[in-house]
Structure 1
Amino acid sequence: MSHRNAALTPRHRLRVARLVIEEGWPISEVAARFQVSWPTVKRWVDRYLAGEPMQDRSSRPKSSPNKTSKKTTKRCVSLRMRLREGPIQLAARLGIAPATVHRILTTARMNRLCYVDRATGEPIRRYEHDHPGSLVHVDVKKLGNIPDGGGWRYVGRRQGSRNRAVTPGKPKNKWRNPKLGYAFVHTIIDDHSRVAYTEVHNDESAVTAVGVLHRAVEWFADRGVAIERILSDNGGAYRSHLWRDTCEALSITPKRTRPYRPQTNGKVERFHRTMADGWAYARCYTSENERRDALPDWLHEYNQHRPHTACGGQPPFSRLINVPGQYN
């Protein structure tokens, strides 16, 4: 493809050459007609006579004597995976320029440490199932309940402690401080579309997890998605017989991640981070009920309006076809 400032596109270059060779036009007249110089027309005529294409030639040299050797490149990648050091440290070990190390790591897609698995040092392998419902991820996010008047994140620790003390209906610990408890956010997210279903409960028991699964299956079914497999961590609720029997009754294949390997369930883990930034800690809530009431609106925004990089800059619902209310 020609550059944006080229006077002649490949199609016009071919036209120029044919006017001179096949129709006998003088080179000077062709140059005047296409507003280019005489040598430019001559160059494309010679290319045409030699049987060469009219596309731009690569500016890459035929030989690069000073090119970094394959041995050095492999050693650079190996050290990056094993030591997780930056370009300056690796350059000192290899005896090459830091810019060269950065170029090697960029080519290998290892220029950022977030691209490399912390446990093994190997590049992160990303996957995505080919259709909605083929696999969904499930997990629970634990959040501290907000006292009446606001939590310490926004009002400060001193005022936050006062708000905790005056929050009614809460049991006391041995220091006479109220125990606000936790909110457990149960999330089921589709691997292909990133469409998420979320509920907030006061526990993470197997009975609660099974109830969330039943309602999520109905919610996805209303949107034309049939859940085939579900991936969870090794929490007690997901290792229970109740969870196994429920999945069997719903014709869903349950799968669990390897212990101490949350990266396998990374899509729902990343969603919980987005949810924490966009909803849980996005503003000052004056009570826990106010925060929970704000979840449906934020979830609607996430599913149907918020651009998602994994969906090509489109919202997750864009990957579901003919869903009622999809564009509301």
Structure 2
Amino acid sequence: MQKPCQSGSSLFVAIDRATRSLLYRVYEAKTAENTEDFMNRCLEYFPFEVTHVLTDNGPEFTNRLIKSKKGKLCQKPSHLDEVCKTNHIEHRLTRPNTPKTNGMVERANGIIKKGAILKDNYVNKEEMNDALMAFLVYYMLYRRHGGVRKELNVKTPFQAVEKWFMLKSEIFKQNPSEFKNKPLHLKSIENSSVSQTTM
């Protein structure tokens, strides 16, 4: 879900396996609270019901590997586990130390890095955030994606959303035409929040 971004920042990334739709956001740190915030944003953003989440075993995602002083594993659910439980989502974990288990998000991280993060030398985080949001719009609406072309005979993640809506509208909570504006709306929200924090 997250990737180092710029001097201490982390980019949290979510990708839908069926449509290759993306959402990402820069956070100052990899914390359980930021993971919870990002997951809630994902639930608000994606136009369909989320049924499963796959993450690595980082402490921002799970308490599974945290041990007490007595050596007992933590039984308390993580912030993400709580959000998943509330929304009837199964939280799955990759095998420890095997990033290839979550290869789709690893590839997405590479695409984002190449398409936005490493594309320019940004003067500040606001510039980088602008580039990231512009890339999200490009990725969702215009960038051709081989995986969805082969599986659904469409070219972009947004077209895959439309195709899935035709095939299984009952899993959607929002019409694709309404969803199409979300990446553009995110860009304006991110820009206004950056402006507010720099004043």
In structure 2, what residue type is equivalent to 1:282? K
RMSD of Structure 2 on Structure 1 (CA):
1.7
Per-residue CA deviations over 1:243-298 (Å, capped at 9, x if unaligned) read 21221001110000011211110001000001010000112222222111221111
Does 2:97 correspond to 1:271?
Answer: no
Question: TM-score scaled to structure 2, two decimals?
Answer: 0.72
The aligned residue for residue 230 of structure 1 is 53
In structure 2, what residue type is equivalent to 1:317? F
Q: Which of these residues, 278, 283, 290, is aligned with residue 120 of structure 2?
A: 283
The aligned residue for residue 209 of structure 1 is 35
CA–CA separation in structure 2 for the residues paired with 1:143 and 1:215: 19
Q: Which of these residues, 300, 308, 312, is aligned with residue 145 of structure 2?
A: 308
In structure 2, what residue type is equivalent to 1:301? Y
Question: TM-score scaled to structure 1, two decimals?
Answer: 0.44
In structure 2, what residue type is equivalent to 1:226? E
Does 2:46 correspond to 1:193?
Answer: no
Contact 2:52 2:90 in 1 (8 A): yes
Larger RCO, structures 1/2 (Cα 8 Å, 6+ apart): 2
The aligned residue for residue 324 of structure 1 is 177
The aligned length equals 151
The aligned residue for residue 294 of structure 1 is 131
CA–CA separation in structure 2 for the residues paired with 1:296 and 1:283: 14
Mapping for residues 123-138 of structure 1, pairs under 5 Å: none
Secondary structure in 2 aligned to 1:317?
helix
Does 2:4 correspond to 1:142?
Answer: yes
Q: Indicate the percent of aligned positions where both proteins have the same amino acid.
A: 25
Secondary structure in 2 aligned to 1:295?
helix
Secondary structure in 1 aligned to 2:33?
helix
CA–CA separation in structure 2 for the residues paired with 1:263 and 1:273: 13
CA shift, 1:143, in A, is 2.1
CA–CA separation in structure 2 for the residues paired with 1:236 and 1:316: 30
CA–CA separation in structure 2 for the residues paired with 1:144 and 1:300: 21
Structure 2 gaps of 5+ residues are 64-76, 163-174, 185-199
The aligned residue for residue 187 of structure 2 is none
Secondary structure in 2 aligned to 1:144?
coil
CA shift, 1:301, in A, is 0.4
The aligned residue for residue 117 of structure 1 is none
Mapping for residues 2-81 of structure 1, pairs under 5 Å: none
In structure 2, what residue type is equivalent to 1:237? E
Contact 2:4 2:10 in 1 (8 A): yes
CA–CA separation in structure 2 for the residues paired with 1:324 and 1:141: 30
CA–CA separation in structure 2 for the residues paired with 1:283 and 1:316: 25
CA–CA separation in structure 1 for the residues paired with 2:30 and 2:159: 31
Contact 2:5 2:26 in 1 (8 A): no
